[in-house]
Structures are given as C-alpha cells and as structure tokens.
Structure 1
C-alpha cells in the first residue's frame, strides 16, 4: 500500500508518522511519500519519520520529494494537509479582521474565507493530478477550511472525504472523564466542520445509553473550562458545542481577547522553529512532547482509521467525517457538506441517520451553509463582488460596512495568491 502526504514538511507530520508506526496492523503502509516544496523542512521531517519507523519496527519505506506527480503516482490514498501562504498568511488572517471589529481566525469568518480563496484552486489542481495518476485513489482532506475544501473536491467528482480532529478529541476527553476506553464512547455529533455540537454521548455504540446528562452534571466544569464557555450555558443548552462555537456565542469577548494578546499564528511560528530544531537532532526518534501543543491532536489515529476503512482494511466502520448531506439534515441541501457519524467503506462515506436538530443549531448551520456556498463560488470564480457577498452572508460579519472594509483588506493581503485580483 502506498500513501502520499501532501504538505509532508509540516511540523505536525511526525504525529501522523507516529500513528502509522503504532497502528501498522490496521493500516499496513509499505511506502509513505512525503511531498512538500520546502526542501529544508522536508529533509528534517523525513529524517525523523524514518527514525520513528525504525524505532517502532515498521519496515515501510519513507520517501521525500518535491515532485508532486511522482509522489501521487500509484498512491492508494493521498492525504492533504497543506497551508497556502504558510504561517505568514495565517498571521494576516488572524490580524486584519480585528481592524474591523470581527474575529480574526484561520478557519472561520473573514480569515477563514481568505484561506478558502487561497486554498481551493491549489487543492483542485492537486486532485486533478491525483486522478490522472490513479483514478481509484482516495483523497483525505485535513486542509482547512475542511468543509469548503471537501465540497470543492466532491463537486469536481473526486473520491474525497474530509477529516477533522474535533470529534476524536472530544471522544477521548469524555472517555477520560467517564473512566472508560475511547472505543466505548459513541458521539451523536452533528453540524458542519468547525460548527458542531455533541447532542448525545453513548456508551457501547450507537444504540447505547446516552450519558451526556450525567457527563454534564458530574464534569460540566471541566468541559466548560476546555471550551472556555460558561458552565451555566452548557447546562441551559444540554449539549456540548465544539470550541469553535465560542467565536459565535462570545464573539465580542473573543475579539477583545485577540486584540490584547499575541496571535495564535505567532505562537505556532515560534513552536515550529523549536520543533524543526528538535527534528534536526539525529538522536530524536519519537514525536516530542511539544508537538502536542502544535495542534492536530489524535489526527494520526483518525487518519489511519479513515484510510483503513476506505482501502478495505480493518478501520472502524463508523466514523465522524465530512461528506455530502444526501438528505441527512433535511433543512440543508443534499450537496452541503456536513460533519456527522458515517458508515465508511470502500465506496466512501454514507451519513448515518441523525435525530431532529434543535432550531437553535439548525438555523446557524443553514446560515453558515449559505455562506459556504458563496465562499466556494468566490474561490472558484473570483471577483470582488463574490467576496463581498460571502462576507455579508457570514454570521460573524453580517453588516455591509464591515463586509466592504473586510473585502478590501482580504484582497489587499492575498493578492499574490488570487489569480483574478
């Protein structure tokens, strides 16, 4: 089996490598190709990857290259984890929206739109080259904004599934609080990428006992602290929102915070500097503890499970993924990309039935889905007016004066990445 990681020079690639090494019985990788245009980073990450494989007794071959076509040739699955513009572009995404009083964040709001506009054309070009190399290859997208990028891939007819680590992170958090194994915890997880709620926490499978009320009663303070939301809010909702909902439920509070502290991009850039220095140590043969702070926790386990299920291995048949709605949420179009538990196999991901969704959440999902429609249109066809329409539709913007100013700033900061600008 050959797997290719596009963006293999990322500093959190060793998290993925560690998962491939530990879970080789689930996903027996014979050749792992890391492809990245940043040759210096790729050399450091590739060296550590080989040492991790060797330490854990994995006999698979790790190949590094900057040649994308060679990297995807014959690949059974291609994992996308790229960042167009690097941390410098992320720094901008997290900064200029604040000038207009809006959240600066790399996956949602105005910053998320900027990332989508930079990313979608690049991902579609990569996907076409994957299709030419092997039409049967699966594309697993971990590149943000996952919902919009996955929808672009699916609409273009690619064999693609989107993946996020929010669900698996909460699954493991809840398992620890409840004193059970993660495999015992099944989430009633519903929403869009980075806009999700846990409406049930079941023990022993899909039909198991819902222990969410007990979880909130006994561990509500710990859950609320992780989400940085008030405990009384969780009690009133009776669900667990993802931490991305804080941008909606506490927008002004978050803006005030972001204006008075270093950006996450700056923190990550410093972490990356330290990590790359560590990766250059020939004695290092495991992922360093610092990597846990970089982001992408449990990504490796989710990615292995998904790839194994898609490629006919021993991955879990039910997983939380991003895929077409197909009537699962009747208030959204069939071709909206939703994030829910799905049956995953060789033919792809089929969403499982979802209980009726409270209008409090359904309304926000419908609003953000409309924004994603407009965002994808802007990413595919360009134009200032399409960017303005997407921003005006986003619930974190919503006012025409803000949308006008943000449109100007978005284009000014991203001109080199926008073919139409």
Structure 2
C-alpha cells in the first residue's frame, strides 16, 4: 500500500523540462527516453527552445516530438519557443545541448588544427579549446536566467566540451549543475557485451575528467573482471564511439596501465596514428563534422515526414548512443531519490586528491534528490594516470579562465601545455587562427 501511495504521489507531481538547443537532431532520442520512462518520470511539460537561426529545425523537431507522444499515448505536453526565459521559467530540469556557431564552427575547429599538424576534434585538443571559448559565455548567460527564473532547477549539461563547460558553471554560478556524457554508459554496455553478461550486472569504478577517464575496476556480480577486459581489449578494438578512429589498443600499454582507457585516450596514447587517420579522412570524406552535416541533412528530411511517429533508425549514425538513457536515468533518480550510482561530472571536493577541489571531475556518484555526490575511490591512482590527468586538468582550468575573462595569456598558456599541441610557436599560430575564424563568437577577446 505504501509503495502504491508513493507512485500515486509521484504521478500527481507536475514536472517541467526545458531543453536548450531543442532544435538538435538528438531531441527525438531524448523524447523517446521520456516516453519509455514515463511511469517512473511522469514529466508533464517539455519546452524546446532554440535561437533564431535554428527556427526551422526547431519547428521540425517539435512537430515530430508531438507526433511521438501522441502515438505513444502519454500525456506529455510538447511546445517550442525562441524565448529562452519563457522556456526556463518554473522549470524543474534544464538540459543544454547547444552548439555555438552550429556545425560549421565544429568543422572549422577540426580543420584549423589539422593545418598545423595537430589533431582536430570537437572536444579534445585545440578543437575542444576553441569550442569551449565560444560556448562558456553562452552557457553562463543561460545560467543567469536559471538563477532568476528557476533557482531550484537542476541543469543537466550535455553541451561539449561537457567537463570544461560544467566546470565554468560550477565555478561561476549558483546553478545546481551536473555534467553528462554518454561515454561511461557506452563503455558499460561494451564491457557487458564482451563478457556476455547483462549491463546491469556490470559495475565499474571510473576516475578522470570528461573524455579523459580510466576504468580502474570492473566488477560483475561482485567478481573482479578487470584483467579479463584488459586481455580482451588487447586482442581487438572496442568500436564504441563513432567519431574516433577505431585503432587497436597496444597490449603492453593496457597491461602497464592496469586500467581500461576510455576511447578518447587514443588521441593521447596513439596521437601519431590518429593524426594520420584524421588527415586521410579530411582529404577523402571530410572531417567528422562534415560527415555529420550530411547525416543531419538526411535526418531532418526524415523528421519532416508527417508519417514518422518515432525516432528513426538513421539517428544511430549521428552518434550519441544512450544519450536519452543517461539523461532520463539521472532525472528519474533525482526525482525518485533513488540513491543509485551513476558516472557524471561534478565538483571534485577532494575525491581525486591531486586535483583542485573546485575542478570538475568525472567519477561515480550517488544520485539522490539533492543531486550527485561523489563516491570515494577504492584505490590509489597510479602515477601513469595521475600525470596525464593533472596536465590536461591544468589546461582545462586555464581554458575556463580564458573563456570567462577574455585573457589571451591564459588562452595561450592553455594551448601551450596541452599534450596535443607540440610547441609554443604552434600554440600562438593556432590561437590566432581560431580567434580570426570565430571572431563573432569570441567578443570577450576584443
């Protein structure tokens, strides 16, 4: 009887979710997640908001979302607006999935580093740096609206580079912000597949920052299977992220680490090989951003089909697998006060002892109605992991400082110390090229 009463109480609560960047091709994935989980997370209202340049896409996505909920028979009210404040007013959850400068800015972020012999990627290295400089001021403006219009709301940040953007919010605002990425759950799914077990039977300990983390322990029904995964990875690839060259891990590297590197660590451990692959792609099919532009055109053609009433299969080509699962799981756990474990981006506060307390880290957290609370690590961090993590976190700290203040010295220092930028001379050229290319989005430097 008590459980039934709680269920009824939850269903009567009115939940509003505002989606900043609602015209994104990912939105149907998110709506599908809300539909599938409606019994546990009975959202009443979803407001999709975008900028003027995204009006057409916003209208297309809104119409599809409305068809999806109607076909599913769930009483979720879907609306859209170009007025961000209207969308945020009274929201319980705000999600951000925006891209400042849209996909063409991503393509530029990928192409410019390649011209200087550096890896170009939307979240890693010089490309991620450029993306962060454009994005952080916009996110902080969004947060100012949240502080005024929905001060109790949780901000779930999916906007890349997710860790750096989340750190800016946590350091410069009072918004209750949790950074999200689908990579940890992707890895969990991949491990389950490799071991032929159910994903819910897999528990991992994660340490690091967004797109630079290691799994130091894999438990399956309480049994440590870490070495089994390291052995399996040594014989093949993981293939779990569409936008990363799927190069085989070196067996000696894996065994020396004693930990499972996330896919993005290929950019660091295999920088030479990855650079060659990216340059080949650039000269043939184009950068990943250019490939995504083509996929998005095809997706929006599908979205416009009035007979389409569910997320299309083609959406899988876009990447971002399990995006909706990650977002909806987190919101549900907060709403239901579940106290389960999820891997998210939060303030460090001593969990990783060699990083600043106010740094944002990606670790296991207990999720309850108060948000995300980091779980203490079960074992010390090896020097091999610690060294790279400290350098890249220092780069992130400088990048946040540069994005907020417009200080070119901080920006130059950030690029100079990044492991994927070979020298100060190259850093200077990269910075100037990126500032020139994105001047309209980087007013803080003028």
Q: For the superposition of Structure 1 and Structure 2, which TM-score range results when normalised by the shorter chain?
A: over 0.9
Quote the Cα distance in structure 1 between the aligned partners of 2:227 and 2:28.
37
The residue matched to 1:365 in structure 2 has which SS?
Answer: helix
Preserved CA contact (<8 Å) 1:143 1:149? yes
Question: How does 1:88-237 map onto structure 2 within 5 Å?
Answer: 88-155=104-171, 156-204=173-221, 208-218=222-232, 220-224=234-238, 226=240, 227-232=246-251, 233-237=253-257
Per the alignment, residue 323 of structure 1 pairs with: 346
Quote the Cα distance in structure 2 between the aligned partners of 1:54 and 1:296.
25
CA shift digits 1:89-142 (9 cap, x unpaired): 000000001111111011011111110100000000001101111110110000
Preserved CA contact (<8 Å) 2:23 2:61? yes
Match status 1:42 vs 2:82: no
Per the alignment, residue 55 of structure 1 pairs with: 71
The residue matched to 2:345 in structure 1 has which SS?
Answer: strand
Quote the Cα distance in structure 1 between the aligned partners of 2:192 and 2:57.
36
2:33 to 19, 23, 48: 19
Stretches of structure 2 lacking an aligned partner (at least 5 in a row):
1-14, 241-245
Quote the Cα distance in structure 2 between the aligned partners of 1:225 and 1:125.
37
Following superposition, the deviation at residue 418 of structure 1 comes to 0.9
Preserved CA contact (<8 Å) 1:201 1:212? yes
Per the alignment, residue 272 of structure 2 pairs with: 252
2:82 to 48, 52, 66: 66
Preserved CA contact (<8 Å) 2:89 2:149? yes
Per the alignment, residue 243 of structure 2 pairs with: none
Quote the Cα distance in structure 1 between the aligned partners of 2:275 and 2:389.
22
The residue matched to 1:200 in structure 2 has which SS?
Answer: strand
Match status 1:279 vs 2:303: yes
Preserved CA contact (<8 Å) 1:76 1:138? yes
Match status 1:87 vs 2:70: no
Following superposition, the deviation at residue 173 of structure 1 comes to 1.3
Size of the alignment, in residue pairs? Answer: 417
The residue matched to 1:4 in structure 2 has which SS?
Answer: strand
Per the alignment, residue 431 of structure 2 pairs with: 407
The residue matched to 2:43 in structure 1 has which SS?
Answer: coil
Moved more, 40-49 or 265-274: 40-49
Quote the Cα distance in structure 1 between the aligned partners of 2:315 and 2:414.
35
Moved more, 84-93 or 179-188: 179-188
Preserved CA contact (<8 Å) 1:391 1:398? no
Quote the Cα distance in structure 1 between the aligned partners of 2:277 and 2:432.
24
Preserved CA contact (<8 Å) 2:234 2:249? no
Quote the Cα distance in structure 2 between the aligned partners of 1:273 and 1:135.
37
Per the alignment, residue 360 of structure 2 pairs with: 337
Quote the Cα distance in structure 2 between the aligned partners of 1:288 and 1:334.
43
Quote the Cα distance in structure 1 between the aligned partners of 2:56 and 2:408.
36
Following superposition, the deviation at residue 236 of structure 1 comes to 4.0
The residue matched to 2:343 in structure 1 has which SS?
Answer: strand
Preserved CA contact (<8 Å) 1:151 1:336? yes
Quote the Cα distance in structure 1 between the aligned partners of 2:231 and 2:280.
34
Quote the Cα distance in structure 2 between the aligned partners of 1:316 and 1:269.
39
Moved more, 336-345 or 393-402: 393-402
- Residues 352, 90 of structure 1: alpha-carbon distance in 2 compared, 3 angstrom cutoff: same
Quote the Cα distance in structure 2 between the aligned partners of 1:292 and 1:235.
33
Moved more, 349-358 or 263-272: 349-358
Output the TM-score relative to the length of structure 2. 0.91
Quote the Cα distance in structure 2 between the aligned partners of 1:245 and 1:13.
28
Following superposition, the deviation at residue 344 of structure 1 comes to 1.4
Per the alignment, residue 387 of structure 2 pairs with: 363
Per the alignment, residue 6 of structure 2 pairs with: none
Quote the Cα distance in structure 1 between the aligned partners of 2:230 and 2:272.
26
Following superposition, the deviation at residue 220 of structure 1 comes to 4.4
Per the alignment, residue 373 of structure 2 pairs with: 350
Following superposition, the deviation at residue 86 of structure 1 comes to 0.4
- RMSD of aligned C-alpha atoms? 1.5
Following superposition, the deviation at residue 254 of structure 1 comes to 1.4
Stretches of structure 1 lacking an aligned partner (at least 5 in a row):
none
1:238 to 241, 258, 264: 258
